[in-house]
């Protein structure tokens, strides 16, 4: 049994004003896939956090680079990869610095700078971070439960 997948890739300048374009694209893709309004909002928040982290931390001011965003559209999930080629960081050390957090912790108990990672891990079903040359954040949200519109999904959408 083969798994059908469509890929959408976009590259944006590492500038804050372009994060909104990623959000709009994501919203359109997730809506066509049939995600609920709440799931679409969760996706937008998590992906915005990953993009904003890349914009703010990856490149020195005088050497702005780009952020690559890839959407893997599967029948049962959406995979989003946000990558930059800027400054890396030690993800394990960063998590230790932020301290342990669990769903029982309140937002007030998070260390400064820990909200983005916390939101990504809370709102997405899977999150993986690689920080070798640049930083790559891979996030997955499974499609389940109620859908926005059962009749219009990516797989059966036709333009007139």
And the tokens for 12? 């944006």
- Per-position pLDDT tens, the chain of length 160: 557 899 999 999 999 999 999 999 999 999 999 999 999 999 999 999 999 989 888 887 666 899 999 999 999 999 999 999 887 554 454 445 445 555 565 655 555 556 777 889 889 999 999 888 889 999 999 998 544 444 444 444 444 3
- Euclidean distance between CA atoms 58 and 63, whole angstroms: 10
Helical ranges in 63-110 per DSSP H? 91-98
Q: Domain tally for the chain?
A: 1
Residue 17 domain flag: yes
Q: Give the CATH number of the domain where residue 121 resides.
A: 3.30.565.10
**Can you give the residue range of the structural domain that contains 68?**
4-140
- Euclidean distance between CA atoms 103 and 124, whole angstroms: 13
- Euclidean distance between CA atoms 32 and 14, whole angstroms: 27
pLDDT tens-digit readout, 40-81: 999 999 999 999 989 888 887 666 899 999 999 999 999 999
Residue 154 domain flag: no
Could you tell me the pTM of the whole model? 0.75
pLDDT value, residue 28 = 97
pLDDT value, residue 116 = 77
Is residue 84 within 8 Å of residue 67, measured between CB atoms? yes
Cα 1 to Cα 4, 77: the distances in Å are: 10, 17
């Amino acid at each position: 049994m083969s798994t059908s997948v469509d890929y959408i890739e976009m590259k944006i300048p590492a500038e804050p004003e372009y994060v909104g374009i990623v959000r709009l694209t994501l919203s359109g893709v997730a809506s066509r896939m049939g995600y609920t309004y709440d799931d679409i909002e969760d996706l937008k928040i998590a992906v915005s956090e990953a993009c904003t982290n890349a914009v703010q931390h990856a490149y020195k001011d005088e050497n702005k680079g780009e952020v690559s965003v890839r959407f893997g559209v599967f029948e049962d999930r959406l995979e989003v990869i946000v990558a930059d080629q800027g400054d890396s960081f030690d993800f394990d050390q960063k998590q230790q610095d932020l301290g342990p957090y669990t769903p029982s912790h309140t937002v007030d108990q998070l260390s400064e700078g820990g909200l983005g990672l916390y939101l990504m891990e809370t709102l997405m079903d899977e999150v993986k971070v690689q920080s070798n040359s640049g930083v790559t954040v891979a996030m997955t949200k499974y499609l389940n439960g109620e859908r926005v519109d059962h009749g219009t999904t990516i797989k059966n959408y036709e333009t007139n």
